[in-house]
Structure 1
Amino acid sequence: MSRAAMAVLLGVAAAAAPAGEVEVLHWWTSGGEAKSVDELKRALATQGHAWRDLAVQGGGGDAAMTVLRSRVTGGNPPTAAQLKGPAIQEWGRMGVLANLDDVATEQRWDAQLPKVVAEAMKYNGHYVAVPVNVHRVNWLWINRDALRKVGTRAPQSWDEFFALAEKLQRAGIVPVAHGGQPWQEFTTFETVALGVGGADFYRKAFVKLDPAALKSGTMESVLTTFRRIKAYTDKAAPRRDWNQATAMVIRGEAAMQFMGDWAKGEFLAAGKVPNKDFLCVSAPGTERSYIFNIDSFAMFQLQSAAARTAQRALVTSIMSPAFQEIFNLNKGSIPVAAGVNMGRFDLCGQESGAYFTATAMINTLVPSIAHKMAQPAAVEDAFKETVAAFWNDERITSAQAMDRFVAAARPKP
């Protein structure tokens, strides 16, 4: 859909509603992210509303949360703030979020969103946040020439993965490009957990924090498989950024990378074509399941009627099919709303959309613990530190790691 067409669709309410201003706190400040924000600004402008950008760089959103706490406690909240997962519930408990049920009913959000996604946008059964996009975490990115050199196909099981890794290593190609940073190790770990244990195990362990799952034979298998991957990374991996690891796959220095679909942008920016130069395949054992990472905006209670009108326009615009299409084409993610035309999306995006819909139907759609979708920050951080320590220190046993998981999951007094 063209930008002009989107302007027509989103501009119908402009004459009927008084102009207002939205102030939006976010940390989308680079590349395709900034371009995507510009589309949202334009959508609001077509309806006569001004946009005040409250962009905060750095810290993966940590710096933005410091600003947000200061604004809310000072009685001057922004219109919207980029929040995700359990953080939405935490702000909901403070009684500062706006009720969006009227817009949700009008746009049929309950029918448009998978239940697990809808529940993440609600507090006490009421919508308080609006989802923008979906990233799939459990992808394996593969350099196609590397596969050709060893004469094999993309792995579908862990046995096939390690057999391929052996062939690649003998051929002088780094099997797995990895960045030795805790969040990257956690991303790989949750993907392995899904592939080894399945969606039900994943949910029990990382959503329900079931001690029996956290300390089980299945979790031991997860940890063993996870640690085994390290032997197929290179010695320069520690502290490498994720996009540098992706660049190794693009150049053919490495064959594979476990990473969410934000990695796709690096391949496309390098002029690479899906299925020709690189493959986006489900990580071993995860073809029928999907770890989601969703960006969303929570809406705050506002005093001014004009500000509330502008806020409502913002919410309505975000969930419109026109905006969902254009925003996600720029961002590299996929639309969260059902029924958006996927014709302009690349092969990886179309596959992600198909998997998102299918796994929602068979209940194998699960939230990412590594990307702030499943647990509060304190629990997530404790798990992440345990996973990183296990990866980097072979003296730590699987039993010790599982004990740390159980301790991290235990309710604090």
Structure 2
Amino acid sequence: MKFKQSIKTLFIAGALLGAATSQAAEVEVLHYWTSGGEAKSVAELKKMMEAKGIAWKDFAVAGGGGENAMTALKARVMAGSAPTAAQIKGPSIQEWGQEGVLANIDSAAAEGQWDASLPKVVSAVMKYKGHYVAAPVNVHRVNWLWVNPEVLKKAGAKVPTNWDEFFAAAEKIKNAGMIAVAHGGQPWQDATVFESVALGVGGADFYKKAFVQLDQATLTSPTMVKAFDTLGKIKTYIDKDAAGRDWNLATAMVINGKAGMQFMGDWAKGEFTAAGKKPGTDFLCLAAPGTDKAFTFNIDSMAMFKVKGDEQQKAQLTLASRIMSPEFQEVFNLNKGSIPARAGVSRAKFDSCATRSMDDMDASSKNGGLVPSWAHGMAMMSATQGAMVDVIAKFMNSNMSSQDAVRALAKAAKTK
């Protein structure tokens, strides 16, 4: 009798546990926000979800500028167990939409009036066939140059405003026994530098023809050769230990005064902020040489995947709504170094780098200088981008000539 009663008790307990498990609202979020400032931002979103009674299952995949995360995502989707949401951006959202695996979140968008709150350039990226399938988290500016003013002072160099002044400063920093350009020798970081170089050398119209329209004449032009020549010169000011270094470790070199400058998007500012550094005093945020009238944008977003069950679908819509809330957009971007994707977020707590970014985005959207970051997946399909990134990486890690690099880049642009 005791045995039968124990079995009955276990059966009832198991049934109750099963019911609780099936009803428990949970979101599983795949992302690659793992550095200091980024991790703080994710923690805030987790808190907001838990305050709504929704459990947070973290699926963080570090490294590779998101490449590792995308590999993990593909494996999960192929196995039929997609997460609730995944950090995806640009044309990749359309690619996933074509696979028929993204969820329609129009109801959250309608309730939150997303169409009225987002610039059209942003909302267009978040939709597939006219329906919202992703929520934008922020807008990053990629074409920044981060500078440690104390390193410049020690080297007797001045703040650079063009390429000639940049190389003059780099030479003085090098001669003073410090590293001129902090860099992580990873393919996506190589492409990040080259993107700003090409924009600075050729201008916004050249950039759009080359990296948005993939125009062969532009890709093989003397201007593109000059862009590679400039990148080759920058390479001479990078230390020999750069291979494989993560971007935030390169940023730490600037923060700690071991290096003078770094080309990196404004997520780098999150690292300066996390280290207690102040813009204008401890570090400078400058548009990369020749790019002060332009703005390369990189939008982080959470694409929503089809999930089963009413509770999970409701939790997913809550996640989308929380991401787009002014409260989260403020705290996330304060930590991350980026600017809010949506309108109506107070500027009061944002520093001078962020408010400059806001102003420059507004100005560049009017003067034609607002361009998508191809290095960060905003301008072209992933296969084409990958082929072009490989060319840049090969150039950075070999004695490849600028002319050969240009020919290889034009060939890569034809990759489908």
The TM tier, using the shorter chain, reads 0.7 to 0.9
The reply to whether residue 157 of structure 1 matches residue 162 of structure 2 is yes
The reply to whether residue 399 of structure 1 matches residue 403 of structure 2 is yes
The reply to whether residue 387 of structure 1 matches residue 389 of structure 2 is no
Does the 8 Å CA contact 1:112/1:338 hold for their aligned counterparts?
Answer: yes
The reply to whether residue 87 of structure 1 matches residue 92 of structure 2 is yes
Shift of 1:200: 1.8
Shift of 1:356: 2.5
Does the 8 Å CA contact 2:101/2:305 hold for their aligned counterparts?
Answer: yes
User: 1:70-149 counterparts in 2 under 5 A?
Assistant: 70-149=75-154
Residues 241-295 of structure 1, C-alpha deviations (whole Å, 9 max, x = no match): 3333323323333221111222223333443321112111111111111112221
The reply to whether residue 265 of structure 1 matches residue 270 of structure 2 is yes
Q: Identify which range, 144-153 or 258-267, moves more after superposition.
A: 144-153
Residue 221 (structure 1) aligns with: 226
Shift of 1:19: 7.6
- Cα distance in 1, alignment partners of residues 296 and 373 from structure 2: 6
- Cα distance in 1, alignment partners of residues 90 and 368 from structure 2: 18
Q: Helix, strand or coil: the match of 1:155? A: coil
User: 1:296-335 counterparts in 2 under 5 A?
Assistant: 296-335=301-340
- Normalised by the length of structure 1, the TM-score is 0.87
User: 1:16-27 counterparts in 2 under 5 A?
Assistant: 20-27=25-32
Does the 8 Å CA contact 1:21/1:50 hold for their aligned counterparts?
Answer: yes
Which amino acid in structure 2 is aligned with residue 137 of structure 1? V
Q: Identify which range, 318-327 or 260-269, moves more after superposition.
A: 260-269
Q: Identify which range, 243-252 or 286-295, moves more after superposition.
A: 243-252
The reply to whether residue 410 of structure 1 matches residue 380 of structure 2 is no
Does the 8 Å CA contact 1:19/1:310 hold for their aligned counterparts?
Answer: no
User: 1:40-79 counterparts in 2 under 5 A?
Assistant: 40-79=45-84
Which amino acid in structure 2 is aligned with residue 189 of structure 1? F
- Matched-pair identity in %: 59
Higher-Rg structure is 2
Does the 8 Å CA contact 1:274/1:280 hold for their aligned counterparts?
Answer: yes
Shift of 1:131: 0.8
Query: Which ranges of structure 2 fall in alignment gaps of 5 or more residues?
Result: 1-22
- Normalised by the length of structure 2, the TM-score is 0.86
Residue 383 (structure 2) aligns with: 378
Residue 247 (structure 2) aligns with: 242
Shift of 1:88: 0.8
Shift of 1:211: 0.9
- Cα distance in 2, alignment partners of residues 243 and 199 from structure 1: 28
Q: 1:309 to 1:234 in 2, by over 3 A?
A: closer
Shift of 1:142: 1.1
Residues 143-178 of structure 1, C-alpha deviations (whole Å, 9 max, x = no match): 112333455542111122223233333444432222
Query: Which ranges of structure 1 fall in alignment gaps of 5 or more residues?
Result: 1-17
Residue 8 (structure 2) aligns with: none
Which amino acid in structure 1 is aligned with residue 411 of structure 2? A
Shift of 1:318: 0.8
Residue 359 (structure 1) aligns with: 364
Does the 8 Å CA contact 1:114/1:360 hold for their aligned counterparts?
Answer: no
Which amino acid in structure 2 is aligned with residue 104 of structure 1? A
Shift of 1:201: 1.5
Residue 344 (structure 1) aligns with: 349
How many residues matched?
394
Q: Helix, strand or coil: the match of 1:78? A: coil
- Cα distance in 1, alignment partners of residues 66 and 255 from structure 2: 28
- Cα distance in 2, alignment partners of residues 106 and 360 from structure 1: 27
